[in-house]
Each structure stands twice: as C-alpha cells, then as structure tokens.
Homo-oligomer: A and B are copies of this chain.
Amino acid sequence: MKKAGSCDLKTCFLCQFSIPEWIAAIGDHKQHLSYKKNETIFQEGSPVKGIYFLYDGKVKVHKQWGAEKELIVRFAQKGDILGHRGLGSGERLYTVSATALEDTTVCYTDLAFFEASLKVNPQLTLKLMQFYADELQEAERKMRNLVHMDVKSRLADALLDISRLHNDVQFTISRQDLAAFAGTTYETIYRNLQEFIQEKLIAVDGKSITILQEKKLKKYITL
C-alpha cells in the first residue's frame, strides 16, 4: 500500500451523500491509498481504524476459514464503501477481509471522522442504513440459496450477479473466486461450468466468461 494524490470528492459514498458544506472537511480528512493486485486492504479480526471507499479497481470482501477455505461475501466497485460491517454494537473488529483483485485506489477516513460525518449528515446515515438493509436482504437470500439450491443453480445465480455488477454479459473472474463466491469447491465449479458451456449458456475464454443466454440461466434459479 502506498499513499497517492487525493480524490475528486464526488465519487464515493461519503461525498455523494454529505451536505456541500461538509465536503471541504472530507477533503481535509481523507487519504488516498493505493494497493497492488492481491494486496490486503484490511484483515478479518483486526481492529477497525477507519472506513474505505473504493475509488478505482476491484475488491473482494471475504471471510477466511482455516488456511485454505474462504467465502466471498461481496465484490466491491467504484464508489462502494468498505469496512462498514465493523460499525456494529459489538467489538470494533473487521468481520471480513478486503483484498484487491486488481490494482486499486481507495479513499480512507478514520473512524472518528466518519462517525462525525454521520452525525452531521442525516442523509448519509439514512442512505447507509438503506445500504445495510439491501446487503442484509441479499445475504439472507444467499443463505437460503446455500441451504436449498444445488451448486449448479447457485453458480447460475453467481454468474448473473457478477454480470449485473459489471453491467456487462462479459467479465473476468478466476474459478477459484467463483467457487468461493458460490460457496463450493474449485472442482465442482469447474464441472458445472463445463456443463453450462456444453449447454451453450455461457462461453469461456481463459478467465473471461460471457453469458450467452441470460434467460435460460435465470431459469436455473427459480427452481
């Protein structure tokens, strides 16, 4: 990680929902940081010192299990807030890790300033609350999928999810990460991807995946 210039004060969640008078204060407090691919931005279990906003690049938010196993909880993109899970009523520890999937720059705010921002900007608090509600809905939907859907359906869901995020039928992701996101193993993802390719629902070229028949993929989910 190294420090870099400053951000445009427009893009991130914090700037977008703060009152104009507060933006200057944000400028004073924000730090611009950059991370290389595969670098850890913060680690599950370590104390929360601040909140991050993704400025450029791609980040996975994930939980570790032992040495080998992980679960990817979310992929974050430009503008997204990172580290807000630490704001609960319990101990202030990150409950997830964040790792750069490509070279990434983020804005960083220490916790005290972020909490001050919440006090000053009711709109920000409200939006953040709404964002939590959305994430909670999604987490619980995924929980249900893990319990009641088979891997192939979960893979279909994951692919559509990632496609929606990228706003493109084509995107790039490792099988490993896909497995951690769908809540299964590499081998199982490999086999089910093969099936989707055979059925011509997707096309694959290296790490690049293209969704060919969104409709049919969707049918796997409502089963």
With contacts A71-B147, A122-B122, A147-B146 taken as known, whether A95 is within 8 angstroms of B132 at the C-beta atoms is no
- Cβ proximity bits A112-142 to B, threshold 8 Å, 1 near / 0 not: 0000001100100110111111111101111
With contacts A133-B87, A133-B88 taken as known, whether A143 is within 8 angstroms of B73 at the C-beta atoms is yes
Whole-angstrom distance between the alpha carbons of A89 and B136 in the complex?
12
Chain B nearest CB, measured from A176 CB (Å): 14
Chain B nearest CB, measured from A55 CB (Å): 22
Is A141 in contact with B95, judged by CB distance below 8 angstroms?
A: yes
With contacts A71-B143, A146-B147 taken as known, whether A85 is within 8 angstroms of B126 at the C-beta atoms is no
Whole-angstrom distance between the alpha carbons of A90 and B132 in the complex?
12
Whole-angstrom distance between the alpha carbons of A173 and B189 in the complex?
37
Whole-angstrom distance between the alpha carbons of A139 and B74 in the complex?
13
Residue of chain B at shortest CB distance from A147: B183
- Cβ proximity bits A27-56 to B, threshold 8 Å, 1 near / 0 not: 000000000000000000000000000000
Query: What chain B residues lie within 8 Å of A146 (beta carbons)?
Result: 143, 146-147, 183
Interface residues on A, range: 35 or more
Return 30 A-B CB contacts under 8 Å, by A number: A63-B141, A63-B144, A65-B144, A71-B143, A71-B144, A71-B147, A71-B148, A85-B133, A85-B137, A86-B133, A87-B133, A88-B130, A88-B136, A89-B130, A89-B131, A90-B137, A95-B137, A95-B141, A118-B129, A122-B122, A125-B125, A128-B129, A129-B129, A135-B136, A136-B136, A136-B139, A139-B143, A142-B143, A146-B147, A146-B183
